Structure 1
Amino acid sequence: MIFLLFFFFMAAFLFWNIRKISPNVYGSLIAGILLIATLGSFLLREQAWACAGQAFFIVWASQAILLYLLWNIFLLLKKGFAVLRHSQPQSNGKAVLLGSRIILGASLCIAAAMLVFGSQNNLHYKIQELHLHNQKKTFTALFFSDIHLDPLFKKEKLEKFIAQADSIQPDFIFFGGDLADISDSAMDAAGYDSLFRRLTSAAKTGAFAVVGNHEAFMERSGSRPVQWMQKVGMTVLNDETVCTPLACITGRTDFQMARAKDVPRKNLAEMHPTDTSLPWILLDHQPRGIEENYSGALPDLALSGHTHHGQFFPATTIIHWIWEHAYGIKKLDGVLWLVSSGLDSWGPPVRIGSDTEFWVINAHSSTSADSI
């Protein structure tokens, strides 16, 4: 609800500013067309042309909102200084008209440039490494999150990722949620089922996953993302813990999925592993930390995604105001918490100020040769 209110407020803000590019009805007409095109592209996500339109309009809207916000602040300050000087504020109708036109043109040009350069950065992901020493067991895990399959996703990117997973031969593959923004049937038609079977088969011990907020959205639209992930070889953990010979893995139900199903998330105490001789890995799509009323032993490592590290400017700056831990590795509620920016992007396949990535986690026991 809060997101929808914010969305409509931003749409109204854009309309109010863009209509000023013309003193007659044409300004309102242009503003209306731009906003209708933006909203319409969300309704046809599985069409490549609509997906491309949505990508452009999201990037454009983010830049236009920022520029118009700065412009309005400037006009208010100018008016305020005139009042402080006890002078009559001058009519700035022509300045508003010219400024509105310049900002509209500039935001469209900036959006086009961001799509060109940001899409290249989105395509080329980074491989990040985390070494954990003095662990109870030695293992290698591959962690990725937020792949967001859609008509604009480049299949060769996934094929390259699978080839690298094959060469790494990890003990575990961990997926942090937000698999796709298209239906199960569309994924099968595109051949993603066979590709993901190849990926999960690269894990020597197992591939484990949790759902994200976009799985909740897709279930609402009639898809069955959990069953699809299970079909391709992932063990989907829904507020439950599984122990293997190398580690215990707890997967938490996403907050959005819990709300959609009208069920409370279990307390972490209910999922504490009974075998304390093994490392404990926690998967939770959103990095919100550990609940305040939990007082038991803490996981050795927590893995999350969701934030995309802001994806592109200005969200790359704002994201750190929204989340206590928006990206990278640090202690959160006493737990070593890794937040990935994701293997791909939601909406616009654009990365500016952030990167796409996956993580290779190497756990070394105190008795293993490489930890000495």
Structure 2
Amino acid sequence: MTWTVVAATAAVLIVYGLICFYIGYNGWVWLRLNKPLRKYKYAYVALIIFLSLSMFAGRFIPIPLLSLIGGYWMVMIGYGILILPIVNVIVLLLKKRGVYWIGIGVLAFFAIIFVYGSFNAWSPVVRTYDVTIQKPADSENMKILMASDFHLGSIVGKKHLDRFIEIAQAEKPDMVLIPGDLIDDYIAPFLKTDMDESLKKIHAPLGVYAVLGNHDYYGGDKEKIVAEMEKAGITVLEDDTILVNNEIVLAGRKDPTDHSRAALESFIGSGDASRPVFLMDHQPIALEEARRAGVDLLVSGHTHRGQVAPAHFITSRIYENDWGYLKKGKLHSIVSSGFGTWGPALRIGTRSEAVMINVHFK
């Protein structure tokens, strides 16, 4: 580790510490209005320190509740930075009158965020897109069910995975595509809660296919994850193509996390372009490359559409298509906001979703 990295890490931790102090201090200013609570000053300080550390500890200590608390604290920091300066200005303008009720308003705001965000996270919707591909196929239409970013682990568990299975059974797709981040870093919670048995219940006449996302690499369990998906009947494509039903070329790319990721043209041949070509690529960063390679349908995830507003303004600036549908020449790009969550088990301005794609061939 270089001194530059050490200095940058120290700077980030100092800034983070100052932000946590700012939020904690604002909370104490309000709490001490109630005189009986003043004697709990040190307990309150200990609570703020615990919350500040939980955001990091939850990623390394296998305690689901700790991860959940850390995620909620992440949201409190994000919105605290946005609203507390405004609240401070209002308090100054009112010459500290009405501070108690302003504090109640802030608490009500966070209560609404947590309730509404939890509802959006745990009640997935099915979004439908229709695309027309100007190539012939034996059947005129095909139904594809696509879902990305499950992040199965200590927070997103078997109950939420079963919700997707119910959707798959109700929609009866011809094909199921999972473009990355099935697992949230480590496979142990997935296996411990028998989610592997649930995964085996996902079926489709033309098959179930997946690629790996960045979080499928982070925990060092990539080979185990691939093995579990293959045991569940899911074909994992890593810079490879497969001919589905002798008519559809389906390709899957390695995530950019994998430095051996190959150029698209190296495994999609020019001869494939006469058939409909579908591509799974976890991160929607190579739309132009896909268009040049003759891909007709590109499905991706990764962005979560920011997951918690106003982060969607950031993802919309980073990605050409950060969510939904975009047509680029003959390429149809569809990006999902994801079926699960990462970090906080909340969604504000987004909703957990599965995507139905009705493909029409001409």
Say whether 1:348 aligns with 2:344. Answer: yes
In structure 2, the CA distance between the partners of 1:183 and 1:30, relative to structure 1 (3 Å rule), is: closer
Q: 1:146 to 1:6 in 2, by over 3 A?
A: farther
1:39 pairs with 2:38: no
Aligned mate of 2:184, from 181, 185, 196: 181
2:213 corresponds to: 212
- Aligned partner of 1:198 in structure 2 is 201
> Could you state the TM-score of these two structures normalised by the residue count of structure 2?
0.79
Counterpart in 1 of 2:19?
14
Contact 1:173–1:208 (8 Å) recurs in 2: yes
- Of residues 280, 284, 290, the one that matches 1:283 is 280
Partner of 2:302: 306
1:1-372 alignment to 2 at 5 Å? 8=13, 11-15=16-20, 17-18=22-23, 21=26, 32-44=49-61, 46-68=62-84, 110-133=109-132, 134-137=134-137, 138=139, 139-153=142-156, 155-181=158-184, 183-199=186-202, 202-219=203-220, 224-244=224-244, 245-256=246-257, 258=258, 262-263=259-260, 265-273=261-269, 274-290=271-287, 296-332=292-328, 335-366=331-362
- The root-mean-square deviation of aligned C-alpha atoms, in Å, is 3.6
TM-score (norm. length: structure 1): 0.77
Task: Give CA-to-partner distance per residue, 1:252-283, whole Å, 9 cap, x none.
Answer: 11112x1xxx43x2111112143333210111
Tell me if the contact between 2:117 and 2:348 (Cα under 8 Å) persists in the aligned partners: yes
Question: Counterpart of 1:331 in 2: which secondary structure?
Answer: strand
Once the two structures are TM-superposed, the CA of residue 318 in structure 1 deviates from its matched residue by 2.9
Shift of the alpha carbon at 1:38?
Answer: 2.7
Number of residue pairs aligned between Structure 1 and Structure 2: 335
- Is the contact between residue 127 and residue 357 of structure 1 (CA under 8 Å) also seen in structure 2? yes
Q: 1:52 to 1:222 in 2, by over 3 A?
A: same
Q: Does the CA-based 8 Å contact 1:207-1:234 persist in structure 2?
A: yes
Distance 1:5 1:298, change over 3 A: farther
| Aligned-pair identity (%) | 28
Flag structure 2 segments of 5+ consecutive residues without an equivalent. Answer: 30-40
Cα offset, 1:216, TM superposition: 1.4
What SS does the aligned partner of 1:214 have? helix
Moved more, 4-13 or 158-167: 4-13
Q: Is the 8 Å Cα contact of residues 147 and 179 (structure 1) preserved in structure 2?
A: yes
Report the residue type matching 1:53 in the other structure. Answer: I
What secondary structure sits across from 1:255 in the alignment?
Answer: coil
Equivalent residue number for residue 32 of structure 2 = none
CA drift at 1:247: 1.0
Counterparts of 1:5 and 1:285 in 2: how far apart (Å)? 32
State the alpha-carbon separation in 1 of the partners of residues 284 and 338 from structure 2.
13
Contact 1:251 1:284 in 2 (8 A): yes
Q: Gaps (5+ residues) in structure 1?
A: 76-91, 367-372
SS in 2 for 1:312: coil
1:184 and 1:228 in contact (8 A); partners too: no
Distance 1:143 1:235 in 2: 14
What is the rounded CA distance, in whole Å, between the counterparts of 1:6 and 1:40 in structure 2?
19
Gap change, CA 1:104 and 1:43, over 3 Å in 2: farther
